[in-house]
């Protein structure tokens, strides 16, 4: 598919289209789609990945795209793969993903980088039954998503994903793989959810606990928690969760966060 000369890429929408056939091939092979799989793609762009996914023989592809100017590239896919592809025009952060039919079994996408974190939270919230994501993201976002405890990249989404399954980087992608050539390094990350703790992303206490704890990450966790929940006995609770009283949020393991969350719930939060 050629980029038409009159198409002006919008930086604001993260429009860097994948051009490297080997990377495209690597993504499709890694996704290992079965004829029973339905895929959700976020940010169809000019449809290169959409087409590759459809050609690999999955059952259905739902592809979300916000920019109507891409219609000349995407409408032909609906004609070429009748009944197997749905283009959803709109903002992926607003579309009701839970209503998609057939339900997505996998999310495979080169996503708009500027919405990586809110998009992942939304996918976890709206598609609790979807256990596999293969996503192209900016390298720095990949680093944060897979960051273990005791690293400065650790953040709430990464903590939650650690508990829910495994996340890893499976492919390095250079800026030259895109047109226009990207300004940043990219990674393809694979997230496989175990099915345990599927309700965590929708749990208000869990989300607020992590948000408060990491809001001033250089400060002691104890002080951050005390400021938000002054009546809870934090010293005893940290001890109960086997957390050092001087610890900062980035030092806790997933297990310790779970223990702290249980203690908050036990106290009526
Ligand atoms: N997957 C394509 C395009 C990647 S660029 C490829 O690999 O070539 C990211 C795409 O996401 C762009 O087409 C952009 O228009 C779209 N996009 C940006 N923000 C969006 C949003 N909030 N909802 C849906 N699509 C969005």
Same domain, 141 and 58: yes
The whole domain housing 233 covers 203-266
User: Does a structural domain hold residue 212?
Assistant: yes
Overall average pLDDT of the 8-23 stretch: 93
Q: CATH code at 24?
A: 3.40.50.150
Distance 92 CA to ligand 1 centre (A): 9
Overall average pLDDT of the 171-176 stretch: 98
Overall average pLDDT of the 146-164 stretch: 98
Which carries the bigger pLDDT value, residue 1 or residue 30? 30
Are 141 and 184 a contacting pair, CB within 8 Å?
Answer: no
Overall average pLDDT of the 186-193 stretch: 98
Same domain, 28 and 149: yes
Closest by CA position to 224, among listed 206, 212, 237, 240: 212
Q: Which of 146, 178, 197 is the last residue of a domain?
A: 197
Query: Which of 2-11, 43-52, 257-266 is least confident?
Result: 2-11
Q: What's the pLDDT score for residue 6?
A: 73
Asked whether the predicted pLDDT for residue 68 surpasses 80, the reply is: yes
Same domain, 86 and 188: yes
Residue 212: pLDDT band (50, 70, 90) is very high
User: Does a structural domain hold residue 3?
Assistant: no
Q: Does ligand 1 come within 6 angstroms of the Cβ of 91?
A: yes
Distance 70 CA to ligand 1 centre (A): 10
23: left (phi over 0), alpha (psi -120 to 50) or beta: alpha
Q: Which of 197, 217, 244 is the last residue of a domain?
A: 197
Same domain, 115 and 240: no
User: Does a structural domain hold residue 6?
Assistant: no
Share of the chain above pLDDT 70, in %: 98
pTM across the whole model: 0.95
User: Does a structural domain hold residue 259?
Assistant: yes
Same domain, 133 and 221: no
Q: Does ligand 1 come within 6 angstroms of the Cβ of 45?
A: yes
Are 268 and 213 a contacting pair, CB within 8 Å?
Answer: no
Q: What's the pLDDT score for residue 98?
A: 95
Q: What's the pLDDT score for residue 5?
A: 54
Same domain, 190 and 113: yes
Share of the chain above pLDDT 90, in %: 95
Q: Which atom of ligand 1 is nearest to the CA of 112?
A: 9
Q: Which of 157, 176, 197 is the last residue of a domain?
A: 197
CA-nearest residue for atom 13, ligand 1, is 45
Beta strands in 149-208 (DSSP E): 165-173, 178-179, 186-193
The DSSP letter of residue 116 is H
User: Does a structural domain hold residue 15?
Assistant: yes
- Ligand 1 site-directed mutation target among 18, 45, 53, most atoms within 8 Å of CB: 45
Same domain, 150 and 56: yes
H or E segment and range at residue 136: strand 132-138
Q: What's the pLDDT score for residue 66?
A: 98
Bridge partners of 85, per DSSP, are 61
> Cα(19)–Cα(180) distance, rounded to whole angstroms?
9
Q: Which atom of ligand 1 is nearest to the CA of 178?
A: 8
User: Does a structural domain hold residue 62?
Assistant: yes
Q: What's the pLDDT score for residue 14?
A: 87
Q: How many domains does the chain divide into?
A: 2
> Cα(157)–Cα(218) distance, rounded to whole angstroms?
18
Same domain, 102 and 173: yes
User: Does a structural domain hold residue 128?
Assistant: yes
CA-nearest residue for atom 3, ligand 1, is 45
Residue 224: pLDDT band (50, 70, 90) is very high
Closest by CA position to 95, among listed 157, 41, 142, 138: 41
Residue 105: pLDDT band (50, 70, 90) is very high
Are 193 and 223 a contacting pair, CB within 8 Å?
Answer: no
Overall average pLDDT of the 48-63 stretch: 97
Distance 47 CA to ligand 1 centre (A): 10
CA-nearest residue for atom 19, ligand 1, is 13
Same domain, 223 and 99: no
Q: What's the pLDDT score for residue 255?
A: 97
Q: CATH code at 249?
A: 1.10.8.100
């Amino acid at each position: 598919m050629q980029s038409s000369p009159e198409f002006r890429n919008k930086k604001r929408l993260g429009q860097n289209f994948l051009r490297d056939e080997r990377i495209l091939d690597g993504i499709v092979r890694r996704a290992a789609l079965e004829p029973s799989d339905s895929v959700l793609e976020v940010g169809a762009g000019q449809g290169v990945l959409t087409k590759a996914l459809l050609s690999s023989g999955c059952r259905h592809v739902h592809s979300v795209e916000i920019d109507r100017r891409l219609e000349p590239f995407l409408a032909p896919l609906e004609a070429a793969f009748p009944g197997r592809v749905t283009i959803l025009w709109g903002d992926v952060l607003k579309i009701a993903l839970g209503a998609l039919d057939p339900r997505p079994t996998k999310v495979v996408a080169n996503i708009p980088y500027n919405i990586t974190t809110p998009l992942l939270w939304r996918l976890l919230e709206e598609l609790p039954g979807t256990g596999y994501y293969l996503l192209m993201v900016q390298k720095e976002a990949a680093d944060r998503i897979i960051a273990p405890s005791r690293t400065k990249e650790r953040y709430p989404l990464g903590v939650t994903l650690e508990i829910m399954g495994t996340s890893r980087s499976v492919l390095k992608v250079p800026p030259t793989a895109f047109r226009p050539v990207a300004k940043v390094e990219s990674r393809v990350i694979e997230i496989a959810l175990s099915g345990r703790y599927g309700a965590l992303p929708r749990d208000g206490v869990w989300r607020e606990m992590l948000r408060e704890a990491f809001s001033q990450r250089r400060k002691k966790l104890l002080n951050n928690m005390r400021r938000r929940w002054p009546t809870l006995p934090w010293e005893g609770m940290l001890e109960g969760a086997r957390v050092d009283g001087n610890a900062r949020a980035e030092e806790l393991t997933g297990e310790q966060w779970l223990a702290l969350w249980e203690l908050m719930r036990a106290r009526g939060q």
